[in-house]
Chain A
Amino acid sequence: MGANGSKNRITPQDRAILDLKVQRDRLKQYTKRINVVLNRETEIAQEHLRRNNKQQALLALRKKKYQEQLLVKTENQLMNLEQLTQTIEFALVEKEVFAGLAQGNQVLKTLNQEMSLENVEKLMEETADAIAYQEEVSEMLGTKLSSHDEAELENELRALQATEIGESAIPELPSVPQKNFPNIIESPQPEQGAVSDIEEAEISPKPARVAMPAE
């Protein structure tokens, strides 16, 4: 009462959770209290035993037993409360997830409405038409010369070649020289190459021979 601010963001669920949690706090405090009593009863029993007062010691232990039973009951209740609280909190999360899904669903629906199946079909048909048209155009542009034209062209080319050959007879080629040339052909170069080959051949087996015994 009166503790609510101007902008209230506390839902009835929050209040329910608070109620449960307050209840839980009370139970927790109660368990603390019982624990204190338990310890005290144990001390009392020990004191009575020291004074050889068996009856009183037994009474204290009986009280302790009773408190222990209470403790177990309380702890069970605490468990239940906590479970309930957690279930509520989880249900709240689920609710939010559901709300999120519902909103997403709505968006998807409106988007789908904007592109009805008929429209899509029509659009696809139109696209196909356009593609076919485009193919036709490019075919026309690419093969503007028919095979008939092609044959005619071949003939023309051959005729042209014939006239070319006819007109310009083969010009006189220079005569082959008769004179003996100096012995350039037997140049030392290939020999050198052969020598280096031999050298390599001589060198290469050596490491192999050395390597053999090593194995």
Chain B
Amino acid sequence: MDSPTSFQFPPVYDFPPFFTRQPTLSTWQDQAKQWQTLVLNYCRHQRQFRLTLSEAANSELFNNTAIGRKLPLAAIHEVIQLMVDQGRAEWLDDKKTSRNQCLIYWHSPEEWADLIYQWIQDRALNNSVLTLYELTHDDLSQGAEFHGMDALMLRRVLSTLVSKGKAQVFHNDEAANEAGVKFF
């Protein structure tokens, strides 16, 4: 990860009860909503596309060392599950019991798709072949918001463009993980 520049936490982050799962349903719903917003904003700021819950539980996101409080892993799990339900996250592990990794969509795949497609059009890169590596990890896209995007997330995003007929992803036989994409 990039060296974390200071993220402006919301005031509620310094409020100790925020780190305890509230038993009252309506209170918890409200609390969970605030946590979701915080997770999305934090990941967007840190340009973090993938979250490993066991690691994140000890990071500043869920662990406020200043007030000595941290959100329990089970609660984190619940928050992420709510985000998954709303299409703002995606579990990366198939087994329900061991879910630990997820993609965080601070832009939905459709929004990302639009962003990338617009970026391609601005540079008149339609109809030319780009490798996926080139698109997200090379100097070409330096400074673009999707620079450094998780490879799996990129696949998801591109597949929405493919289904709209705006792009085609392909690879040569011997290099399945070194795919290319052509935008139309």
Contacts and interface: CB of A to CB of B under 8 A. Distances in A.
Given A14-B170, A17-B129, A22 B180 contact: yes
Contact of B130 (A19, A21, A26): A21
A1 B176 contact: yes
Given A14-B129, A22-B131, A3 B178 contact: no
Interface in B116-166: 128-131, 133-134, 138, 162, 165
A28 B168 contact: no
Nearest to B137: A25
A7 B165 contact: yes
Given A18-B172, A21-B131, A22-B131, A3 B179 contact: yes
A74 to B, nearest CB: 16
A179 to B, nearest CB: 105
Interface string A1-38: 10111011110001101110110011011000000000
Given A8-B168, A10-B168, A25-B138, 19 more contacts: A3-B169, A3-B171, A3-B179, A5-B162, A5-B168, A14-B170, A18-B129, A18-B131, A18-B180, A19-B172, A21-B129, A21-B134, A21-B180, A22-B172, A22-B178, A25-B131, A25-B134, A29-B133, A89-B128
Interface of B: 128-131, 133-134, 138, 162, 165, 168-173, 175-176, 178-180, 182, 184
Interface of A: 1, 3-5, 7-10, 14-15, 17-19, 21-22, 25-26, 28-29, 89
15 contacts: A4-B168, A9-B168, A9-B182, A10-B168, A14-B170, A15-B172, A18-B170, A18-B180, A21-B129, A21-B134, A22-B131, A22-B175, A22-B178, A25-B134, A25-B178
